[in-house]
Amino acid sequence: MKHGLKIFVLVAVTLAAQRLLGHPQTMPYAAALLLPMPWVIGPPLLALERRWYWLAFGIGLSWDLLFEPVIGTGAIAWSAPALCTWIGASIMAEQRTRAWFVFGAGGTLVFWLVRSICYFPLGLPGTPTWSWIGASALLTGLWCASVHAVLAFDLPARWRQRRTHRLRL
Interacting positions 74-93 with another protein (CB under 8 A): 75-76, 79, 83, 86-87, 90
What does R_g of the chain's alpha carbons equal in angstroms? 17
Decide: is 151 part of the binding site for another protein (CB under 8 A).
no
Nearer to another protein, 39 or 86 (CB): 86
Cα–Cα distances in Å, from 49 out to 42, 53, 78? 11, 8, 18
Find the shortest distance in angstroms from Cβ 122 to another protein.
4
Cα–Cα distances in Å, from 39 out to 77, 97, 101, 142? 14, 15, 14, 14
Decide: is 57 part of the binding site for another protein (CB under 8 A).
yes
Decide: is 65 part of the binding site for another protein (CB under 8 A).
no
Ramachandran angles phi, psi of 39, nearest 5°: -65, -25
Among 6, 65, 66, 69, binds another protein (CB under 8 A): 69
Ramachandran angles phi, psi of 75, nearest 5°: -60, -40
Which span sits near another protein by CB under 8 A: 12-20, 25-33, 68-76, 97-105? 68-76
Nearer to another protein, 62 or 141 (CB): 62
Report whether 108 contacts 137 (CB < 8 A): yes
Q: Which residues 6+ apart lie within 8 Å of 51 measured at CB?
A: none
Kindly tell me the number of DSSP H helices and DSSP E strands found in the chain: 7, 0
Among 8, 29, 52, 53, binds another protein (CB under 8 A): 53
Find the shortest distance in angstroms from Cβ 163 to another protein.
42
Chain positions contacting another protein, by CB under 8 A:
50, 53, 57, 69-73, 75-76, 79, 83, 86-87, 90, 118, 121-124
